Amino acid sequence: MMKPLPVIRIGICGLGTVGQGVWKHLSRIRPDLESRLGVKLELTRASVRDLRKSRGVKVPAKKLTTDSLAIATDPNIDVVCELIGGTTVARQVTLAALAAGKVVISANKALICAHGAEIFETARRHGGHFLFEASVAGGIPIIKALREGLVANRFPLIYGILNGTCNYILTQMEEQDAPYTAVLGEAKELGYAEADESLDVQGWDTAHKAAVLAYLAHHTWVKPKQMIVEGIDRITPADFKHAVALGYGIKLLAVIARDFETDELSVRVHPTLLPESHVVAKVSGVFNAVSVRGDVAGTTLYIGRGAGQDATASAVISDLVDAVALLKNDRRAFITARKASAPARPARACRLAPLEHIRCRYYLRMTVSDEPGVLAQVATAMAAKQVSIASVIQSAHEPAGAASLVLTTHRSDEQAMRATLAKLARLRCVLEQPLLLRIGDFAD
């Protein structure tokens, strides 16, 4: 008589867009997964805010609850998918499930950024395990790449597009020669941008994801307030024209750089000029792209859908397969696997680079008085802070009596550029706050 297959019971906390995607796709491919994994998969329970709300997937009423913590602590549930979002209830659910020795799968980059150290310590202490492939870049398996495929490497540079909303807006601004506000409205109508777009367009969503990647690559938790974080809302169609004239495109990038000689790490998020020939510069619409430079493997590049129901559900189910590998067999084996799979304690963290050690070239756009001697005043102010001008583009500008002045610099540093911006703002001939963008001459 054949031995019955072990049963892995799954609870989903949060049945929104992603949760419904996981339920839908897991139900569809479950027979194939069960055959491949040698287990039975049971979607046991799901938590929702409103039991009466209609949804795109059919879930038996008896499997629905409004109590997410009850799923987290249910001794009959082996894997908890935390798909609630936010950092309050999601944190309680995650910690409760890990304290019960369960496997938790999460797509919540904000939670990991804010409470990652606490989450991993709880997993270690109680023999649980925390899987989070879906938290960064949607369907792109970047977390598995860093944790598994590239484990032999140190990472001097990781950079890329981590927010599809911003990439869509920048792509449309360039292709349509349209202002930011008009494209943002279009993105909201299409569902690519939230009603409150600030988390995306001001760079904070990307910063949360950058924090996760920085921890994986360098064992250091970097909070967004410790990063340089700038958004895309001040970029104009004219900036794209100037960038093209200089041979560049504009992308919102996360840049994670480590100098292994000084053991200094910098994490920053900002619009960046990339050479038009660069592969990442060609990634358009809602797609994400991540470039990873390893000291053994060299540079590897990952491109794909960074968000959406299907891409994120794909990543959650990928983690579920890993969870099954840990937990299949009998209950005693479950416990052994959980203890063995707790994350190792991180190596010694590196220190954060001071602003004067973060160096690149810069793009600077100013609206100035259209009168003789302005460029000389600007050049003098920049030279006083040891910033050298590499190129100049000057054009007429509205209103009458004003001009647009676009400069690029030779290599400088963040500290010098901040001092330069402050000095330029005090010049009477500078009519508006200058726009500063970085130039990403990444040598791959």
pLDDT tens digits for 174-185? Answer: 999 999 999 999
Given 109, 209, 251, 328, the catalytic residue:
209
Q: Which residue has the higher pLDDT, 190 or 100?
A: 100
**Both structure tokens of 287:** 């797609």
Q: What type of residue sits at position 436?
A: L
Reported as half-sphere exposure (CB side, CA atoms, 13 A), residue 357 has a value of: 14
**Helix residue ranges, H only, 43-176:** 68-73, 89-99, 109-126, 142-144, 164-176
CA angle, residues 338, 342, 346, in degrees to nearest 5: 175
Looking at residue 348, what is its pLDDT?
63
Question: Is 328 known to be catalytic?
Answer: no
pLDDT band at residue 444 using 50, 70 and 90 as cut-offs: low
Decide if pLDDT at 335 tops 60.
no
267-295 per-position pLDDT tens digit: 999 999 999 999 999 999 999 999 999 99
Task: List Cβ neighbours of 430 (8 Å cut-off, separation of 6 or more).
Answer: 366, 367, 368, 378, 424
Provide φ and ψ at 405, rounded to 5°: -120, 120
Mean pLDDT, range 340-353, rounded to an integer: 62
Average predicted confidence (pLDDT) for the chain:
92
Task: List Cβ neighbours of 330 (8 Å cut-off, separation of 6 or more).
Answer: 6
What is the CATH T-level fold of the domain 7-138+309-341, as seen in this structure? Rossmann fold (3.40.50)
- Where is 359: in which H helix or E strand? strand 359-369
Segments making up each domain of the chain, as ranges: 7-138+309-341, 154-305, 357-439
Evaluate whether the domain defined by 357-439 bears CATH number 3.30.70.260.
yes
Provide φ and ψ at 358, rounded to 5°: -100, 110
Task: List Cβ neighbours of 147 (8 Å cut-off, separation of 6 or more).
Answer: 216
Tell me which residue of 291, 281, 289 sits closest to 155, measured CA to CA.
291
Q: Which residue has the higher pLDDT, 265 or 336?
A: 265
Q: How far apart are CA 129 and CA 120, in angstroms?
A: 8
Q: How far apart are CA 299 and CA 295, in angstroms?
A: 9
357-392 per-position pLDDT tens digit: 999 999 999 999 989 999 999 999 999 999 999 999
In this structure, are residues 102 and 127 in contact, taking their beta carbons and an 8 Å threshold?
no
First to last CA, the chain: 59
DSSP SS3 for 185: helix
Looking at residue 336, what is its pLDDT?
40
Task: List Cβ neighbours of 324 (8 Å cut-off, separation of 6 or more).
Answer: 8, 37, 39, 41
- Tell me the pTM: 0.91
For 170, 178, 196, the CA distances from 184, given in Å and listed in that order, are: 10, 10, 11
140-172 per-position pLDDT tens digit: 999 999 999 999 999 999 999 999 999 999 999
What CATH class is the domain 154-305?
Answer: alpha beta
Looking at residue 347, what is its pLDDT?
55
Decide if pLDDT at 306 tops 90.
no
